[in-house]
Amino acid sequence: TELESLDYIRQSLYDFNLIRLNFKLRADGTIYLGPDEKKGDIWRGGFGEAFKKIACADRWGSADCKKCGDAGQCFFNEYFVIDKPHPYVIRHELDSKRIYRNGDSIGIEFILIGEAAQYYKRFVKIFEELGVIGIGKNRGRFVIENVAVETPEILAYFNALPPVSREVILELLTPVKLKETDKGLYYGEIPFEVFFRLLLKRFINLNNLYCNGMNYDKE
């Protein structure tokens, strides 16, 4: 029944946990990031570059993870290269600003899921490195002014959700890619069944991979 399904989902999330790192950055020069819909790709690309530079076990060599003998013990390989859901999310401010001038403030929310949370100081170091090498067009630099750490209670949010008895509209403010097959499926309008099913699969996969989940049947 619907109530049994809801209870099943709730049980599967008991071990799901995360922390939020709220970065307050300050532009050290001019940073060109472009429109809001492009910023996510720019931040993720810059993050990956800084991650590789600071954490890759073979950063002075070819850096080919498939050929590296240390890949099994490499933090960069485990948390960035391996083809599985990554235990972090980068959320940038939707402030409509394309250019940040020297001294401007930039907000970034970085979410770490499950076991990845214990390494939050390493991830702060990665953002420090990104500030040094620069981001966006012309490699604009920044410094970290403050990092606030929050530990929200996921089930508290889940249990507080009101019953839905009417139409719900989901507004996608940034580009979304949903992969349902090896080649991927593309939609002009996303069917709710597809969106919600993939959302639940992602939750449960993250729970199983990083939060000591109980391998609940995601089907």
Q: What is the pLDDT of residue 89?
A: 95
* The amino acid at 188: G
Q: What is the pLDDT of residue 118?
A: 95
Q: What is the pLDDT of residue 136?
A: 92
The burial class, CB within 10 Å (0-12 / 13-18 / 19+), for 110 is buried
Query: Tell me: the pLDDT tens digits for 183-218?
Result: 666 667 778 888 888 888 888 889 889 987 776 665
Q: What is the pLDDT of residue 51?
A: 93
Rg of the chain's alpha carbons, rounded to an integer?
Answer: 19
Below-50 pLDDT ranges, the chain = none
Residue 34 to residue 43: CA distance in whole angstroms? 11
CB 142 within 8 A of CB 131: yes
The DSSP string of 129-187 is HHHHH-BTBTTB-EEEEEEEEE---HHHHHHTPPPP-S-------S------SSS----
* The amino acid at 100: Y
Helix 36-55 vs helix 120-133: crossing angle, to nearest 10:
110
Residue 164 to residue 2: CA distance in whole angstroms? 13
Query: Tell me: the pLDDT tens digits for 101-116?
Result: 999 999 999 999 999 9
Residue 51 to residue 123: CA distance in whole angstroms? 8
Q: What is the pLDDT of residue 153?
A: 78
Residue 113 to residue 206: CA distance in whole angstroms? 8
Q: What is the pLDDT of residue 107?
A: 96
